[in-house]
């Protein structure tokens, strides 16, 4: 998980980061942008001027423009006349950036949260294999069973896969690891 350093943050920047971070994700409105881990920083760059750093979940993410617009709106409503939202690609966003609260909310919403994929220092391992994961099972958000199968690598958005629990037989979305 990317941990953002906010030690030099002013009280105003902390307040504005809280406001920007509370904006719901347009594709998964159960999560805020802070819980999704895409809000990187908020900086005051002059009187009435703020710059927000935002990372897309993947290159070409169609929701990034809506996220930026929603952040601009909430900060304008707070009285900040000039808001610039910059797309930041480094460090790249990873599903490991989703907060524990975000993972809990996904599960409660019926979406299996992504498994942790990245070691603290190192590349993400890519392994192709069977649709059932026996070494690192994905648990059903409905009944908690690890006995699940992949139905489709894509679901309602490119970020999710469609799975089914073999115990309770319920289908569910899985937020794919990245």
How does residue 61 score in pLDDT terms, banded at 50, 70 and 90?
confident
Contact of 33 with 25, CB cutoff 8 Å: yes
CATH code for the structural domain at 110-175: 2.20.25
Q: Which residue has the higher pLDDT, 2 or 61?
A: 61
| pLDDT given at position 115 | 86
Q: What mean pLDDT value characterizes the chain? A: 87
Contact of 4 with 20, CB cutoff 8 Å: no
Beta bridge partners of 69: none
Beta strands 39-46 and 49-54 are antiparallel
Place of tokens 């990372």: 55
| pLDDT given at position 74 | 97
pLDDT tens digits for range 64-75: 999 999 999 999
Task: Determine the average pLDDT of the residues in 29-51.
Answer: 96
Residue 36: closest CA among 122, 129, 106: 106
11-87: CATH superfamily: Fe-S cluster assembly (FSCA) (3.30.300.130)
- Residue 28 pLDDT greater than 50, yes or no: yes
What's the CA gap between 67 and 88, in Å, rounded?
Answer: 13
- Within a 13 Å sphere around the CA of 155, how many CA atoms are in the beta-carbon half? 18
Q: Which residue has the higher pLDDT, 57 or 178?
A: 57
H-helix or E-strand containing 58? none
Q: Where are the domains of the chain?
A: 11-87, 110-175
């Amino acid at each position: 998980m990317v941990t953002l350093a906010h030690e030099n943050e002013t009280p105003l920047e902390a307040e504005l980061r809280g406001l920007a971070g509370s904006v719901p994700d347009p594709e998964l409105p159960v999560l805020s942008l802070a819980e999704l881990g895409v809000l990187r920083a908020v900086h005051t760059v002059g009187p009435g001027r703020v710059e927000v750093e935002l990372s897309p979940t993947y290159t070409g993410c169609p929701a990034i423009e809506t996220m930026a617009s929603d952040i601009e709106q909430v900060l304008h409503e707070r009285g900040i006349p000039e808001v610039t939202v910059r797309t930041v690609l480094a460090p790249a966003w990873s599903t490991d950036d989703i907060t524990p609260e975000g993972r809990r909310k996904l599960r409660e919403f019926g979406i299996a949260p992504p498994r942790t994929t990245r070691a603290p220092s190192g590349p993400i391992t890519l392994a192709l294999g069977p649709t059932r994961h026996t070494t690192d099972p994905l648990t059903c958000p409905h009944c908690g069973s690890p006995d699940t199968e992949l139905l489709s690598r894509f679901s309602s958005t490119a970020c999710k896969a469609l799975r089914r629990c073999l115990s309770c037989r319920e289908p569910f979305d899985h937020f794919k690891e990245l």
